[in-house]
Every structure is written in C-alpha cells, then in structure tokens.
Amino acid sequence: MLLSIIAVVLGLALLVWSADFFVDGAAIIARNLGVSTLIIGITIIGFGTSAPEILISLFSVFDDTPDLAIGNAMGSNIANIGLILGATALFIPLSFTSKLINREFPILLLATTLMVWVLWDTQLSFSDGVLLLGFLILSLGYLVRFSKTDKNDPVSLELDQEIPRDVSTARALIKTSIGIVVLVASSKLLVWGAVNIATYLGISELIIGLTIVALGTSLPELAAAIAGARKGEPELVMGNVIGSNMFNSLAVIGLPAVLTDFTISAVAISRDLPVMVGLTILIYLLSRFPRASFCVITRIKGLVLLSIFILYQFVLYYQIVAK
C-alpha cells in the first residue's frame, strides 16, 4: 500500500513536471520554425496540457481499468470549471471579451454533446472514437482558419508573451524529448499505483479517477491560472480551460476507443456526467449574463462554481464512506 501511495504521488509530480517540459519545448520549437502563436496555442499547447489525461486514459484502458480513464476525463473537466475557474475568480475576477465565448464555447458544447452521445450506452467502440477524433480535427481546423482573420486575438497576444524567445531549437528538442519520455513513464506509474490503491481499499477505479487523479493533475493548473490572472491574462485562463475540456471530451476518450473497445460503469453516466454537463452550461450562462461587450466571472460567480465542486466532492466521499 505504501509503495502504491508513493507511486501515485511521484507519478503525479513527474506527470505535471514533464507535461510542462514537453509543452514549453514543443512551443519553442514551433515558434523557432516560424509557426504562428495562434496555431501553437490551439494545437501544441492544447494537446500538451491534455497529454497527462490522454496517456492516463490509454494506459488505463489497456490495463483493463476503463473506469479510471473515464473518471479522469470527467473529473478533469469538472475540476477545470469548478475548481480552477471558481477558485481563480474568487481570488481575482476574470474579465474577457465576449468573442472568446461566442467563438469557442459552441465548439465545447458540441464536444460535450458528442461525449454524452458516445458514453450514453456505456459502450465505447472504434466508430465512437473516430467520431470524437474527427470532430476534434474539424474543430482545430475551424479555430485556426477563423482566428487567422483576427490579428489582435487577446489569447494569442497573451500567449505570445509566455513563450520564451532565447532558447535554441536544439535545446528545445532535448527538452521536448525528455518531457515525452517522463510523461509516458510517470503516467504508467500513476495508473499502477492508483489501481492498487483502489483494489486495496475496495474503491472503484472511477472514484480514484474522479478524485485523486483528476485533482492531482488540476492543482498545478490552478496555480498557473491564478498566476495568469494576477499577470492580467484572463483571456488565456479562460481559453485554456475551454481548450483543455475540449481535448478531454474528444481526445482523452476518442484515442482509446479507436484502439480498443471497452465498457464503462453506468454510475459515471447517472452521477458524474450530469455534473460535468451542468457545469459546462453554467459557465456560459455566468459568462454571458448580464449581457455586455465583456464577459466577467465575478467573485460571487466564482464562489458558485467552487461551491458546486466542493459539494460534488462531498457526495463522492459520502458514497465511499457509505460502502
């Protein structure tokens, strides 16, 4: 048991570190090769920030623990909205242009709808994976094409300031390679430890994915979101949450489904999926109303999001204790 706990803690720490290492290196390489900041943000950073969830999902499914994969995907989406946006807004209110919500939220809503569609029968197949990944590719293409017409996109401008300019391509390539290797190893270590803990305590892999794994991968993003808000980059904070949830809904579930069929717990559909969908709709309502040229997630709205997240964690804890 002690060894499994150490594996989870070490796996989470290395996972977060290697994901940042990989994203930084890949972004620098892309910039040095002349790729626009916009495309870097939508593709490389969008994929890189979801790389831990994607690898955990793949290893979980191949280790015959698909509920850990689904719990990780849903739990990450719930934490991104309830914990990251909620706590960040409670700390510093987030103000961003309505253009961000009008352009990217409909894609997230469609991605969430597709996720509900393929999960509803608790069976994931090759065709489900193709549907999810196909929509992801179309969405990325749309965002790149649409955003090329906007040279003053706030997210791109804020991201441009975050990518280092004084790092050589060779050094960035080494950084990216190390990041990938440690990402894979730490993901495998984390899944091994999480499954052992779930087995030892008699807790479902779904609960482990929704709590330990999802929270562990979200806490560093929370720190980054608060830091971004303090530096006056609310567009980047909101854009990262929407982008991460889109990748979680499409790639984290779609990639394993393309490679192998698997079945998930019905509890995930009846208990956890409604919470994820409800929070997704709620951020749109809180952002758009009252209507204005700028959307604002105030401290009160942040408190609402964070309270829902905490209440949901209590529900999960109660169900563990009740068993």
What is the β-pairing status of strands 262-263 and 294-297?
A: unpaired
More confident residue, 41 or 140: 140
Of 64-73, 218-227, 290-299, which one has max mean pLDDT?
64-73
What's residue 114's pLDDT? 96
| DSSP codes joined into one string, 29-86 | HHHHTT--HHHIIIIIIHHHHHHHHHHHHHHHHHTT-HHHHHHHHHHHHHHIIIIIIH
Q: 46: closest CA among 165, 136, 175?
A: 136
Q: 177-186: string of b/e by CB count within 10 Å (b at 16+)?
A: eebbebbbeb
**Which fold, 2-322?**
A middle domain of Talin 1 (1.20.1420)
Q: What CA–CA distance (Å, rounded) separates 175 from 177?
A: 6
Residue 320 pLDDT level (bands cut at 50, 70, 90): confident
Tell me: pLDDT of 151 over 60: no
pLDDT over 90 at 136, yes or no: yes
**Lowest model confidence (mean pLDDT) among 26-30, 140-144, 154-158:** 154-158
Give pLDDT, residue 292.
Answer: 61
Residues 6 or more apart in contact with residue 129 via CB below 8 angstroms: 253, 254, 255, 256, 257, 258, 259
What pLDDT score does 45 carry? 67
Residue 264 and residue 86: Cα distance in Å, rounded? 29
CB under 8 Å to 206, separation ≥6 — which residues?
Answer: 67, 68, 70, 71, 264, 265, 267, 268, 272
Q: pLDDT band for 149, please (50, 70, 90 cuts).
A: low
Place of tokens 């999001």: 305
pLDDT for the residue 41: 64
CA distance 82 to 85: 6
Element (H, E) at 262: strand 262-263
Mean pLDDT of 106-129: 94
253: pLDDT confidence band, cut at 50, 70 and 90? very high
Mean pLDDT for the stretch of residues 269-280: 95
pLDDT over 90 (residue 234) = no
pLDDT classification of 170: cutoffs 50, 70, 90: confident
Longest dimension (CA), the chain: 56
Domain assignments of the chain as residue spans, ordered by start: 2-322
Give residue 17's pLDDT. Answer: 82
pTM of the model: 0.86
- CA 279 to chain centroid, in Å, comes to 14
Give the 3-state secondary structure of residue 251: helix
DSSP, collapsed to helix, strand or coil, labels residue 282 as helix
Residue 323 pLDDT greater than 70, yes or no? no
